[in-house]
Structure 1
Amino acid sequence: MKLHSVVWVIGTLQDIVSGYANPEACSGTCVNAHDPSVIRRSDGTYFRFSTGGKIAVHTAPDIMGPWTYKGAVLPSGSSIDLDGNQDLWAPEVALVGSAYYLYYSVSTFGVQNSAIGVATSSTMDVGSWKDLGSTGIRSSPGKPYNAIDPSLIIADGTYLLTFGSFWKDIHQVPLKNPPKTVASGASAYQLAYDPATTAEEGACVFKRGSYYYLFYSKGQCCGYDANRPPAGGEYKILVCRSTSATGGFVDARGNACSSGGGTVVLESHGYVYGPGGQGVYDDPNYGPILYYHYVDTRVGYADGQKRFRWNTISFSSGWPVV
């Protein structure tokens, strides 16, 4: 047997043992990519947005790369008057009509004084983004949610923004049309909650077939180099599903996502540690993909070493499988 065949067989067996395929390839700038958001422009250019650097922008001709740094979405920071408006988190980009909307978080680590802002662009190019400020989603001590980790979906003509981190986990609220601010009279409602840990965040809702799938991260996201959690306490990606985008999410065993339910989609395996901060994108070249950040245990555990990777996912069983 040729050497490359031996390597392929060993790699395949390792994937079967772990239960997960290894990440697909990434070239160019694939590090320091916390909370990525990916979209492909009509000319074939891929854009990747990530936490830090006032929302870092990278582009590539393919999801595999090579990724090149282009600059910041908001080089002057956010107009939202709140601590953290120069260190923006958790971007989420979506095409709405002919405009791109980028939602972002203004906060500082471990606090509930947070807000979700939005910027728009017709091209996504650096220098083209206009900051519109707050969406009206804001949190403070005493509220049941933290206003970070926004993600937009359009369901039956309604714009829904899913968000939340710790406290009482994942919430959602309708937005106006166009989706710049909260809809008149609307209030946030809970989609997912684990009372045992309250460590759920970074949710996104993805439609496939007759179901809406709620993907989210659970566990400790950061600081692995200084304070690594017990095995299994690190980030992992879970999912629940519903026939409605606005609630009733259950896991593969029928447990309610609002009461601690959740089916694991991807967790630590091999050299991949703490995958999360995910998004799901129906890529025109590869079909549905799950993209995320993780740390490579062969390299290091620091937050600045978080790497961008992705996998194709299959829904053939009715549940997403990497």
Structure 2
Amino acid sequence: MVKLSGLFGAVALLPALVSTYALPEACSGVCTNSHDPSILRRSDGTYFRFSTGGRLAIHTAPSLAGPWTYKGAALPGGSSINLPGNQDLWAPDIAQVGNQYYLYYSVSTFGSQSSAIGIARSASMDAGTWTDLGSTNVASSPGLPYNAIDGNLVNDNGNYFLTFGSFWNGIHRVRMTPTHQNGEAYQVAFDPGNTAIEGPTVFKNGAFYYLFFSKGSCCGYDQNRPAAGKEYKVMACRSSSAVGPFVDRNGKSCRSGGGTTVLESHNWVYGPGGQGVYQDPTNGPVLYYHYVDTRIGFADGQKKFGWNKINFSSGWPVV
């Protein structure tokens, strides 16, 4: 999550990093304008990609590889939530419930805890069809243990949860109806040594629920590059229950700094994160994310859409 800077200044490239991570799969068409992507395939085979910026930009394609085409804003009038940032919406999360599509989004400003998670509804996902329903009632203000951004809906056999959060006391979860909060928030992940964790996504594979999240510095690399290894990366913990507790591959609690690295900077890929996970009918489970291509530039507006197949054969996600 972050407000896009829109800067495109030339920056010296980083040296290539040697890694066993796979490079991103092919992407054609509009592969930039993809900060915090969220994707879903409609029954007619059309893929939709929603992203931060442009009042929730919509792109469509016939496959994950593209060609991606810009279609417009999901909420061209902004959000009805009365908070600063309601014209600059962040971190969309798309979900289908019955015959309706719900788009969760964040209203906030950078570094502020005065935040709320909103929701919009459409029967098709097409631009021009979205109705803003306002707040889910998941909100935060100074003094609360969480920041109400980066919502991700989990449907566990008809039981709905929204996993959300960033910095402060980490990532939290709350029961949903699915359109509104239906219980008290509780913590599912926290790193006392580095509170920069955010952007949760929960994905069920086999007997386990995997909690994916981003850790590290997300943005502004063209102006202030973090120390090596402190940039965005994708982490994961897992649980046999949808409600947790979540632990990493070594059995360390995700509430005590646990987290197994799934994807980090490698080769010309820098700062991957803002991820989602999707069960694609053609490619199986895929991890998708935004990243900086060091051969092009480091500005937030230059971040690209990346995706890779995930192998869960070891019980842990491997890209």
Please say whether Structure 1 and Structure 2 have the same fold, judged by a TM-score greater than 0.5: yes
Q: What is the CA distance between 1:110 and its match in structure 2?
A: 0.6
What is the aligned counterpart of 2:193 among 193, 196, 200?
196
Note the 1:149-164 alignment, pairs <5 A: 149-164=150-165
What are the equivalent positions in structure 2 for 1:180-191 lying under 5 Å apart?
Answer: 180-183=179-182, 186-191=183-188
Task: Indicate the SS of the match to 2:168.
Answer: coil
TM-score normalised by structure 1 residue count = 0.93
Q: Counterparts of 2:35 and 2:192 in 1: how far apart (Å)? A: 26
Find the residue that maps to 2:180 and give its secondary structure.
Answer: coil
Provide structure 1 residue ranges, at least 5 long, that are not aligned to the other structure: 1-13
Task: State the distance in 2 between where 1:19 and 1:61 align.
Answer: 29
Structure-1 separation of matches of 2:85 and 2:315: 40
Counterpart for residue 74 of structure 2: 73
| Alignment root-mean-square deviation, CA | 1.0
2:304 aligned residue: 307
Shift of 1:157: 2.1
Gaps of 5+ in 2: 1-15
* Deviation by residue 1:147-183 (Cα, 9 ceiling, x = unmatched): 000001111321000000000110000001xx11111
Match of 1:10 in 2: none
Which amino acid is 2:69 matched to? T
Residues 195-244 of structure 1 show CA distances to partners (whole Å, capped at 9, x for unaligned) of 11111000010000010000000000000000000000000000000011
Establish whether residue 297 from structure 1 lines up as the match of residue 294 from structure 2: yes
* Residue of structure 2 aligned with 1:223, choices 220, 226, 231: 220
Distance in 2 (CA, whole Å) between partners of 1:181 and 1:52 is 24
Q: Aligned letter for 1:92?
A: D
Residue 32 of structure 1: how far off its partner (Å): 2.1
CA deviation after TM superposition for structure 1 residue 19, in Å: 1.7
Percent identity reads 68
| 1:38-96 Cα deviation digits (max 9, x unpaired) | 00000000000000000000000111000000000000000000000000000000110
Structure 2 CA distance for aligned equivalents of residues 223 and 246 of structure 1: 34
Query: Larger C-alpha radius of gyration, 1 or 2?
Result: 1
Corresponding position: 1:173 with 2:181: no
Report the 3-state secondary structure (helix = DSSP H, G, I; strand = E; otherwise coil) of the residue aligned with 1:137. Answer: strand
Q: Please identify runs of 4+ aligned residues in structure 1 that moved more than 4 A.
A: none
How far apart, in 1, do the equivalents of 2:81 and 2:268 lie? 39
Name the structure 2 match of 1:93: 94
Q: Name the aligned partner's letter for residue 274 of structure 1.
A: G
Partner of 1:18: helix, strand, or coil? coil
Bigger relative contact order, structure 1 or 2, given CA contacts below 8 A and separation 6+? 2
Output the TM-score relative to the length of structure 2.
0.94
Between the aligned partners of 1:263 and 1:311, the Cα distance in structure 2 is 17
Secondary structure of the residue aligned to 1:244 is coil
Matched to 1:100, the amino acid is Y
Aligned residues, how many? 304
Q: Distance in 2 between matches of 1:286 and 1:265?
A: 18
